[in-house]
Amino acid sequence: MSFADLGLSDELLRAVTDAGYTEPTPIQRQSIPPVLMGKDLIGIAQTGTGKTAAFGLAMIDILGEGRTRALMPRSLILEPTRELAAQVAENFEKYGTHHKLSMALLIGGVQMGDQVKALEKGVDVLIATPGRLMDLFGRGKILLNGCSLLVIDEADRMLDMGFIPDIEEICTKLPKERQTLLFSATMPPVIKKLADKFLNDPKRVEVARPATTNTNITQFLIETTTMKKREVLRALIEADDVQTGIIFCNRKTTVRELNKSLQRHGIRSAEIHGDMDQPARIAELERFKKGDVNILVASDVAARGLDIKGVSHVYNFDAPWHPDDYVHRIGRTGRAGATGTAYTLVTADDAENIASIEKLTGQKIERVKLRNAPAPSEEDERAEAPRGRRRKGDEDKARKPRSRKEEPRREEARRDEPVRETRARDEQPRRDRDRSRRRDERDPNDSGGPDEGWNGPIPDFLNYTLAE
């Protein structure tokens, strides 16, 4: 079957051919005809199956006729993350090159004023994240009364991120007579309830078993220790002569620390995580796409939906906490028929997470223990020091407990505190002063109960006595 067999317009077929596509994917073959017929649709498909084009191509032809109306977009696409929304916008620009359709992108991290100006001109396609859209609703900057087509993409991800109440609210602001398309990798009960409530006799399309991994991806578990992780990762990158790879970490701080470490060891890397503003995230992604850097260190904010061509390797520096995230992470490679390799660095503490992943995917992942595993460098040992001794904000330097000389300001602050405490005590009633005096006269080694002012563990930097 070709794209011409799906009933698409000649202009759209030309754009698809220009983009280099010749044959529709299974989700496209099954989704496009019913969408063109105006039916509601539930599409169960993993990322990387071509579902963006499945709804995008049909929408362009549906919207090809008609005029925009100020402050009333004709269609709305909801995406869970900024990256996904931006990527969908890129696809619409690519496929709609021969159509005169206007588009607006509403995402956080960028100036709201420019987005409002775009809305005032009227748009055919509005692509938005729920948070920014609700913000504009609250400011009275947008109306959806004229929206006749709604797409809810990555619905299961919306659920994970807590967006379902926002989506329900948004749905109530749209006309009841509309076409609604819902796409999700899985169909948990909450998503099914959402579909039952807001979709009208939908056609259900399912192209793959949920949570399966791509057979084109070779997967390995690399057994190591926490202290050796960085050294092992660098050895893997160098051994495979990686041209384009993505490294996933569970925490934003780990992303920053690891990226700095890789750069110090001569690896061309960049980072992307949720604490970066949108322009910075876009800039880093562009550097990666252009090949200015060949390694991208990312948090799970980038795990879903990013379609970057030519990613040959995926590294899980941390085993993901949720098994679904494993599927989406390694799905960044092995796309569009290409082959890929996925490594997951595991320690003894990851046994439960790995068991959950293997249970979900229904396959055993090959375990590899490196012979002559590299010894950790001094930097790696410092980086893996207990985090309780590290100061927030200085992420890549290991820190010894501070001496009294190193913290004069904190000492001065603590010296001031007894003065203020004494002054306040003098102002207390006599009975309270006597009670305080009795409490102060207790044996300092007495463990009869917690201190009145602090009942938690004492931080290391406070656990010493000031000199007289």
Question: Would you state the pLDDT for residue 338?
Answer: 75
Question: Would you state the pLDDT for residue 160?
Answer: 83
Residues in the chain where the model's pLDDT stays below 70: 47-48, 66-71, 208-214, 301-307, 336-337, 371-468
CATH of 3-206, one of 3.40.50.2300, 3.40.50.300, 3.90.1150.10, 3.30.540.10: 3.40.50.300
Cα separation, 375 vs 270, whole angstroms: 25
Q: How far is CA 218 from CA 234, 330, 343, in A?
A: 19, 10, 9
Q: How far is CA 113 from CA 79, 116, 452, in A?
A: 21, 5, 51
DSSP for residue 226: G
| Residue showing tokens 């879903």 | 304
Question: Would you state the pLDDT for residue 182?
Answer: 96
Question: Would you state the pLDDT for residue 34?
Answer: 95
- Homologous superfamily, domain 217-389: P-loop containing nucleotide triphosphate hydrolases (3.40.50.300)
Cα separation, 58 vs 418, whole angstroms: 72
Concatenated DSSP letters for 2-38?
Answer: -GGGGT--HHHHHHHHHTT--S--HHHHHHHHHHHTT
Q: The dihedral of CA 125, 129, 135, 137: what is its sign?
A: positive
What would you report as the CA-atom Rg of the chain, rounded to the nearest whole angstrom? 28
For the chain, where do the domains classified as CATH 3.40.50.300 start and end? 3-206, 217-389
DSSP for residue 387: G
Sequence-distant (≥ 6) Cβ neighbours of residue 353 within 8 angstroms: 319, 320, 321, 323
Cα separation, 6 vs 22, whole angstroms: 12
**Bridge-partner residues for 78, per DSSP?**
128, 152
Q: Which of 328, 260, 334 is nearest to 300 (CA)?
A: 328
Given the DSSP bridges, would you call strands 269-272 and 41-44 parallel, antiparallel or unpaired?
Answer: unpaired
